Structure 1
């Protein structure tokens, strides 16, 4: 399928073009500000569908709203109609179409041109009235406040907040692209106003507070809950605007005669991750927990784990190696230790179900 994408150099189009180029199903026909009339006409003649993302939202001259939004859309519709084919069009409009502003008026006028095109040709038209869109590959100080906040906070630059209590509605770029991709696979047969889902709602102050918290993990190692929902999308956006020199950061390394130990990441509700090393013949551990549990994974070397039930003195021993990845769990009420029984350094990954608390360590020394 040949998909003509207007505004091909813009924020949404950058993300869409990458996805459409994955898998070989689509050929993108990109239209930018530099595309001349002859090239535009040629691409329209070849197109099987159009994703109309071009638009003006921050012009130097307000008259550019009309020319960039209304007039360009009208011209595009004329070219599409001239092909004699009912070419489907998806259009990125805005929730501001009902506002009495030059931008809102120009977008509303563009919608009217597309609706007239649909009525005249029978072409399917999908009009997406988008709220604030955020994600990777945007332009700070241009595309969205979230993008600007992420870019500036990632660099320690000041940000401007006019009203922390202002409520904003947001959609994530990957969800926008997924919906456009879905529409291209099966365009509706009629005119419609489909919506992007999910739509997130938050105050400006809440967004800024959350974005700032992402940077704190490098100091306290405690991650935000970045696996789902708005926080997941915000985190992906934040790290996408990190400068390259911030792609890495160091964590404290603690060493003694036995080897080294380092914490990697802590979570607010699911424990922490760390690793340690042990020289040949070295034993670590020699304690038990009342509630804390752990998972050990030897990634290099040969290990012997010993367990003892502190009530019954029942014992258990298991050997694992980096050659055959095996998780060994510690059990509350069982004393345990781990010994490097190989000839080389042993490296072990460790997950504990809670963050270590020096005031309540739940770690009691006990011989095996």
Structure 2
């Protein structure tokens, strides 16, 4: 499917782009705000597109800024659609459950939907609830991102008034907007997590307290895994590598590499000859840990769609663990003269039918412009 996006550099937009890559679809056409000022240019870029996802908008700010930001973006896209000789088959609008609620944000979202409906034959007006997920902006995208950042910085979230939340993971929302077939790594039906604000803060605080010791907290269901991955995204890269304790006695040495609370997962080891590279892929949901037991290696990671590569030198002489953040391409290379022995752990058993593994080199040659890691 050929997809075009507005708001591609936002929270939801980045997750849509990652999912498109995981699906193996062509790179989406990205419409920036500056490009959308030229309706004729927008019309040309939409030629041959199957689906347009309108994600651009303003969530927070001065009331006039929020209102004009949402309406102007929709009006610009609508004008481009009118001038398109072969319009896209479907336009999908990432609307909000707050649409039409009497606030500048809600009313401007409703007005944007009306503008798009007038400009196309098939508008899918999707009213999204609270989205959470990796690399959300604190104090902007989600209260989950705010709590995660506070906890990652050793703080404690303050709850002034408890209330119930309906949370949807952003990759599930992306799958719904793309009409992607359901996989083990995403669910376009957008299953919700109903949770109180105080319970959310307590659950994330438990994650943080356990993970601070290098241990893996209980992950009993898919929302627990995704909340934990969201928290980990706010820890990376500053909290890594995590050192391990080495215990010695007359028999030899022992290093505890993984202590998972209430979860077994899968552990395996590999040896690599000098210069061999393993990995070169990313995951959408899997928690994965690397630990070099002997030899010298380098773990390299790059956030999908970005240029900057994070590198960690690792050695069996000083055992450490590095946990792979979701949606970061990663590899490990043997940089020593002898064999490299690496232990790997994942929180789930490998399923060949749904491996949650998407090939891409860390040192990629063609990337979109880098964006700030929130």
> How far apart, in 1, do the equivalents of 2:267 and 2:66 lie?
54
- Aligned-pair CA distance for 1:259: 1.2
Does structure 1 retain, via aligned residues, the 8 Å contact 2:31–2:42?
yes
The 3 A distance-change label for structure 1 pair 198 and 218 is: closer
- Aligned-pair CA distance for 1:205: 1.0
Does structure 1 retain, via aligned residues, the 8 Å contact 2:147–2:157?
yes
The 3 A distance-change label for structure 1 pair 110 and 273 is: closer
The 3 A distance-change label for structure 1 pair 184 and 256 is: closer
Q: 1:248 aligns with which of 241, 250, 258?
A: 241
**Corresponding residue of 2:97:** 95
Where structure 2 has 5 or more consecutive residues not aligned to the other structure, the ranges are 183-187, 269-292, 295-340, 346-374
- Aligned-pair CA distance for 1:157: 3.7
The residue matched to 2:243 in structure 1 has which SS?
coil
- Aligned-pair CA distance for 1:81: 2.3
**Corresponding residue of 1:308:** none
For residues 117-141 of structure 1, the C-alpha deviation after alignment (integer angstroms, 9 at most, x for no partner) is: 34xxxx3222221111111132222
Does structure 2 retain, via aligned residues, the 8 Å contact 1:131–1:170?
yes
Equivalence map 1:336-355=2 (5 Å): none
Equivalence map 1:312-331=2 (5 Å): none
- Aligned-pair CA distance for 1:32: 2.5
The 3 A distance-change label for structure 1 pair 196 and 94 is: farther
Equivalence map 1:4-15=2 (5 Å): 4-15=4-15
The residue matched to 1:168 in structure 2 has which SS?
strand
- Aligned-pair CA distance for 1:153: 0.9
**Corresponding residue of 1:324:** none
Q: 1:202 aligns with which of 189, 195, 200?
A: 195
**Corresponding residue of 1:321:** none
C-alpha RMSD over aligned residues: 3.3
The 3 A distance-change label for structure 1 pair 136 and 86 is: same
Does structure 1 retain, via aligned residues, the 8 Å contact 2:2–2:51?
yes
**Corresponding residue of 2:170:** 173
Task: Point out the more displaced range, 17-26 or 225-234.
Answer: 17-26
**Corresponding residue of 1:44:** 46
TM-score normalised by L of structure 2: 0.63
Equivalence map 1:209-288=2 (5 Å): 209-218=202-211, 223-226=216-219, 228-269=221-262
For residues 142-196 of structure 1, the C-alpha deviation after alignment (integer angstroms, 9 at most, x for no partner) is: 1111011112211214534332x211111101211222232599xxxxxxxxx84
**Corresponding residue of 1:320:** none
For residues 67-90 of structure 1, the C-alpha deviation after alignment (integer angstroms, 9 at most, x for no partner) is: 221232133122212224442111
The 3 A distance-change label for structure 1 pair 150 and 21 is: same
The residue matched to 1:245 in structure 2 has which SS?
coil
Does structure 2 retain, via aligned residues, the 8 Å contact 1:171–1:200?
yes
**Corresponding residue of 1:117:** 119
The residue matched to 1:169 in structure 2 has which SS?
strand
Does structure 2 retain, via aligned residues, the 8 Å contact 1:14–1:137?
no
> How far apart, in 1, do the equivalents of 2:28 and 2:263 lie?
44
Q: Residue 25 in 1 paired to residue 25 in 2?
A: yes
> How far apart, in 2, do the equivalents of 1:52 and 1:239 lie?
29
Does structure 2 retain, via aligned residues, the 8 Å contact 1:49–1:184?
no
Runs of 4+ with deviation above 6 angstroms: 271-275
Does structure 2 retain, via aligned residues, the 8 Å contact 1:50–1:89?
yes
- Aligned-pair CA distance for 1:97: 1.2
**Corresponding residue of 1:66:** 67
The 3 A distance-change label for structure 1 pair 49 and 250 is: same
TM-score normalised by L of structure 1: 0.64
> How far apart, in 1, do the equivalents of 2:246 and 2:195 lie?
38
Does structure 2 retain, via aligned residues, the 8 Å contact 1:7–1:31?
yes
Task: Point out the more displaced range, 75-84 or 136-145.
Answer: 75-84
Q: 1:182 aligns with which of 179, 183, 204?
A: 179
> How far apart, in 1, do the equivalents of 2:181 and 2:113 lie?
19
The residue matched to 1:215 in structure 2 has which SS?
helix
